[in-house]
Structure 1
Amino acid sequence: MCDSHITVFPLDRRRKLVEGIARVLQSKNAEDASAFWRSTVKTILVQLSKSGIAPGSAEQEVRTLFNAVLAEIGTRSALKLSQ
């Protein structure tokens, strides 16, 4: 049996996912936002694992997704301030 390397379309490039998470996080207080993020990460990690993604790669995907979500929140905040 040979090892295979499975890759997924990068989570941080999935605009609807990034925008949706950012929107929800901005609508919640700190404690609820943290709980939502932990739940989201858990779900994503399970999905990636079921797809055959190695744990290290899955964790890296979540880290880059988090950075994309933070950037989206920053962009949304800047747009609100400029209006």
Structure 2
Amino acid sequence: MCDSNISVFPLHRRRKLVEGIARVLESKNGEDANAFWRSTATTILVQLSESGIAPRLAEQEVRTLLHAVIDDIATRNAAKFAQ
């Protein structure tokens, strides 16, 4: 199987996706949070694969999405503490 030349709108730029995942993760702790993220990441990887995105690119997109989610959580927490 060949790597594709298809590119996607970067997941980390999809604000509603990032914020939605961040809100759910903030409401969970420990293994519940880990399980939610693993499930979410797997679902997204499957969707990207079915769309013809190369596996390495799909994995990179999901990693970058996770960083955006973590940044979103940190930014919101910093804003709460600043008030």
Per the normalisation by structure 2, the TM-score is 0.93
Q: Counterpart in 2 of 1:39? A: 39
Q: What is the distance in 2 between the residues matched to 1:8 and 1:22? A: 21
- Runs (4+) of structure 1 exceeding 6 A deviation are none
Alignment of 1:54 onto 2:51: no
Superposition map of 1:3-82 within 5 A: 4-82=4-82
Aligned-pair identity in percent equals: 74
Looking at structure 2, the residues matched to 45 and 56 of structure 1 have their Cα atoms a distance apart, in angstroms, of 10
**Structure 2: unaligned runs, 5 residues or longer:** none
Stretches of structure 1 that go unaligned for 5 or more consecutive residues are none
SS at match of 2:6: coil
Q: Which amino acid aligns with 2:68?
A: A
Does the aligned pair in 1 maintain the 2:18–2:72 contact within 8 Å?
yes
Q: Distance in 2 between matches of 1:78 and 1:17?
A: 20
Count matched residues.
Answer: 81
> Whole-Å Cα distance in 1 between the matches of residues 60 and 32 of structure 2?
24
Please tell me the root mean square deviation across aligned C-alpha atoms, in Å.
1.1
